[in-house]
């Protein structure tokens, strides 16, 4: 079985743009596309968002990464601990936030039917809401779900670290023909750029085929373009 490699990038913004662009250039040389994780409420109009639009018109995939990463979206009167935005929501509340997120994306001139929850944690209610609102893919901590068929491709997210065991784990997964999911926050690229690229090179060396969470030719892929045809970008917002 041939391994699949998916590299995801979050935390894209004005302060991290140069590092994001550098990483994208390195991956382009390796013919490895990026899955760009974006929370629309946190997106700042300007060069970084223009860069996301340009990349999404190419081989990179846009993935909705929550709405605003609010840790208490239901506004509970008593909160015992902080939770990721979609980790504990019932279906109705999750649906409201998904509608708001899609609307915000549309105003930015973007669209996607692929979803990756903040911290990679999605409640059962969130999965129900994603299906109701016709999302195609949900990438969570343990695997990637085809929301149209119910199929799940197992493979945990491997957030990049600089420890030797990280590279060893990537190599093992690739050799076994597994699903190699490499994730990084742009804020960490100063420290983790080289380990990430080394992990990618190891996976490719073992024959992994690069893809994204929205690969059109994947059985788990999205069918929606990242930049909608005829979209008008409001640059005043």
CATH code: domain of residue 110: 3.20.20.370
Higher pLDDT, 237 or 1: 1
Confidence of residue 226 (pLDDT cuts 50, 70, 90): low
Residue 84: predicted pLDDT: 85
Answer whether residue 218 shows pLDDT above 60.
no
Beta-carbon contacts of residue 25 (< 8 Å; ≥ 6 apart): none
Confidence of residue 79 (pLDDT cuts 50, 70, 90): very low
Any domain includes 216:
no
Any domain includes 31:
yes
Residue 44: predicted pLDDT: 82
Any domain includes 236:
no
Residue 85: predicted pLDDT: 92
Confidence of residue 133 (pLDDT cuts 50, 70, 90): very high
* Contact (CB, 8 A) for 234 and 107: yes
Residue 69: predicted pLDDT: 57
Averaged pLDDT, 43-59: 94
User: How many structural domains are present in the chain?
Assistant: 1
Residue 104: predicted pLDDT: 94
* Contact (CB, 8 A) for 204 and 5: yes
Averaged pLDDT, 101-108: 94
Answer whether residue 217 shows pLDDT above 60.
no
Beta-carbon contacts of residue 196 (< 8 Å; ≥ 6 apart): 7, 23, 160, 182, 184, 189
SS3 153: strand
Residue 41: predicted pLDDT: 86
154 is in which domain, residue-wise? 4-70+83-211
Any domain includes 97:
yes
Tokens 């093992």 belong to: 172
Choose the most confident range, by mean pLDDT, from 125-139, 153-167, 206-220. 125-139
Averaged pLDDT, 78-96: 80
Answer whether residue 228 shows pLDDT above 70.
no
* Contact (CB, 8 A) for 16 and 192: no
Any domain includes 224:
no
| Residue 1 to residues 34, 201, 215, Cα–Cα distance (Å) | 23, 19, 19
Any domain includes 118:
yes
Residue 150's region, left for phi above 0, alpha for psi from -120 to 50, else beta, is left
What is the reported pTM? 0.86
Residue 131: predicted pLDDT: 97
Any domain includes 217:
no
Answer whether residue 231 shows pLDDT above 50.
no
- The mean pLDDT of the chain is 88
Residue 45: predicted pLDDT: 87
Q: How far apart are CA 56 and CA 54, in angstroms?
A: 5
* Contact (CB, 8 A) for 137 and 220: yes
Tokens 């809401």 belong to: 129
SS3 147: coil
Any domain includes 218:
no
Answer whether residue 221 shows pLDDT above 80.
no
């Amino acid at each position: 079985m041939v391994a699949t490699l998916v590299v995801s990038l979050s935390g894209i913004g004005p302060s991290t743009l140069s590092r994001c662009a550098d990483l994208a250039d390195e991956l382009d040389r390796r013919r490895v596309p990026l899955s760009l994780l974006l929370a629309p409420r946190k997106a700042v109009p300007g060069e970084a968002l223009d860069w996301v639009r340009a990349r999404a018109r190419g081989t990179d995939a846009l993935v909705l990464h929550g709405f605003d990463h609010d840790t208490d979206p239901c506004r509970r009167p008593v909160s015992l601990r902080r939770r990721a935005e979609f980790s504990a929501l019932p279906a109705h509340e999750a649906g409201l936030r998904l509608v708001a997120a899609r609307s915000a994306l549309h105003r930015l001139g973007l669209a996607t039917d692929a979803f990756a929850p903040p911290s990679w944690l999605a409640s059962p209610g969130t999965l129900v809401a994603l299906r109701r609102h016709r999302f195609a893919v949900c990438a969570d901590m343990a695997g990637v779900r085809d929301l149209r068929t119910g199929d799940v491709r197992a493979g945990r997210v491997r957030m990049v670290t600089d420890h030797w065991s990280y590279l060893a784990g990537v190599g093992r997964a690739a050799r076994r023909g597994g699903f190699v999911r490499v994730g990084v926050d742009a804020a960490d690229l100063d420290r983790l750029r080289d380990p990430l690229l080394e992990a990618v090179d190891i996976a490719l060396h073992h024959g992994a085929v690069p893809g994204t969470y929205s690969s059109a030719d994947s059985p788990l892929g999205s069918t929606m373009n990242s930049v909608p045809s005829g979209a008008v970008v409001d640059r005043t917002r």
